[in-house]
């Protein structure tokens, strides 16, 4: 699967009527900062999708910090951006690949195939002397017909079966080693990881804003069978998406995201966690 485009490709196609660029810059510590950066300057023609307002739903007791958005609201946002089923979409964030990855994953969830992440993000674009603008574009609304791909979502019950030892499906924790081992936990109420999980930090697959090359990605996943189902998670279903993309690029067929991730797991009092 080719999920990545380089700045040279976008520079060549940015004026194509069928190409839509999406800005997903965001700061978890300062939620309004992404919109502020967008208003100051963005790639020409880009529309803004906010992680918490557009790419996530309201957090409740269960479901994690960034649950799926209401699909009617998300589709309205998509249509208002002038996107239909034939649009080629290029998504970027600053250079994290995680916020853009969440948006990319959501478009795959609604059945969109021609969607890509800009390698290196906004930083790469400006470093390559790409033009920017501050004006906010307005596009004629279009109609979008979704075809929800439920096969890329892992249910809570699937994860419970792995944690209880009833299934041997690989469960990848995409957070840092320190959080996986329970040595630190800056956000969630309990430190540790879901029983049965292995740790493959997403940051090992993205270096300085760029996905590492395919040979290195293959090495990261060399202990896994490409024909087996695999589930990825993180803290809230955002930073696991670069691992999801890397696995698909490496040829893994059946990859799922546990959207609620660790923040959902520890919202249940009876769920156990491991710290080793």
Handedness of CA 114, 120, 122, 125 (dihedral sign): negative
Give the model's pLDDT for residue 2: 85
Which among 24, 103, 161, 234 is annotated as catalytic? 234
Whole-prediction pTM? 0.96
How many Cα neighbours within 13 Å face the side chain of 59?
12
Q: What is the pLDDT of residue 1?
A: 66
For domain 4-148, which architecture applies?
3-Layer(aba) Sandwich (3.40)
Decide if 1 contacts 248 (C-beta within 8 A). yes
Instruction: Report the CATH fold assignment for 151-265.
Output: Oxidized Rhodanese; domain 1 (3.40.250)
- Is residue 234 annotated as a catalytic residue, yes or no? yes
Question: DSSP per residue over 159-184, as a string?
Answer: HHHHHTTS----EEE-S-HHHHTTS-
Q: Where are the domains of the chain?
A: 4-148, 151-265
Q: Which helix (H) or strand (E) holds 230?
A: strand 230-233
- CATH fold match for the domains 4-148 and 151-265: yes
Estimate the crossing angle of helix 98-109 against helix 241-249, to 10 degrees: 70
Residue by residue, pLDDT tens for the chain (276 residues) are 689 999 999 999 999 999 999 999 999 989 999 999 999 999 999 999 999 999 999 999 999 999 999 999 999 999 999 999 999 999 999 999 999 999 999 999 999 999 999 999 999 999 999 999 999 999 999 999 999 999 999 999 999 999 999 999 999 999 999 999 999 999 998 999 999 999 999 999 999 999 999 899 999 999 999 999 999 999 999 999 999 999 999 999 999 999 999 999 999 999 999 998
Distance of alpha carbon 193 from alpha carbon 69, whole angstroms? 25
The answer to whether residues 232 and 259 touch, using CB atoms and an 8 Å cutoff, is no
């Amino acid at each position: 699967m080719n999920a990545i485009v380089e700045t040279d490709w976008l520079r060549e196609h940015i004026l194509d009527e069928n190409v839509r660029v999406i800005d997903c810059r965001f700061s978890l510590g300062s939620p309004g900062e992404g919109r502020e950066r967008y208003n100051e300057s963005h790639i020409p023609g880009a529309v803004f999708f906010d992680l918490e307002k557009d790419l996530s739903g309201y957090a409740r007791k269960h479901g994690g910090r960034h649950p799926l958005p209401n699909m009617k609201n998300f589709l309205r946002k998509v249509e208002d951006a002038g996107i239909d089923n034939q649009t080629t979409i290029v998504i970027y964030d600053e250079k994290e690949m995680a916020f853009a990855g969440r948006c990319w994953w959501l478009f795959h969830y609604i059945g969109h195939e021609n969607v890509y992440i800009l390698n290196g993000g906004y930083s790469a674009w400006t470093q390559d002397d790409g033009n920017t603008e501050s004006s906010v574009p307005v596009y004629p609304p279009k109609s979008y017909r979704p075809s929800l791909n439920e096969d890329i979502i892992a249910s809570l019950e699937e994860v419970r079966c792995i944690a209880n030892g009833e299934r041997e499906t690989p469960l990848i924790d995409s957070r840092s080693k320190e959080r996986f081992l329970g040595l630190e936990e800056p956000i969630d109420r309990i430190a540790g990881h879901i029983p049965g999980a292995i740790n493959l930090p997403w940051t090992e697959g993205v270096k300085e804003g760029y996905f590492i090359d395919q040979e290195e990605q293959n090495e990261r996943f060399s202990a896994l069978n490409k024909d087996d189902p695999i589930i990825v998670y993180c803290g809230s279903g955002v930073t696991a998406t670069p691992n999801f993309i890397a696995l698909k690029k490496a040829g893994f067929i059946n990859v799922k995201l546990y959207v609620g991730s660790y923040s959902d797991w520890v919202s249940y009092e009876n769920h156990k966690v491991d710290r080793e």
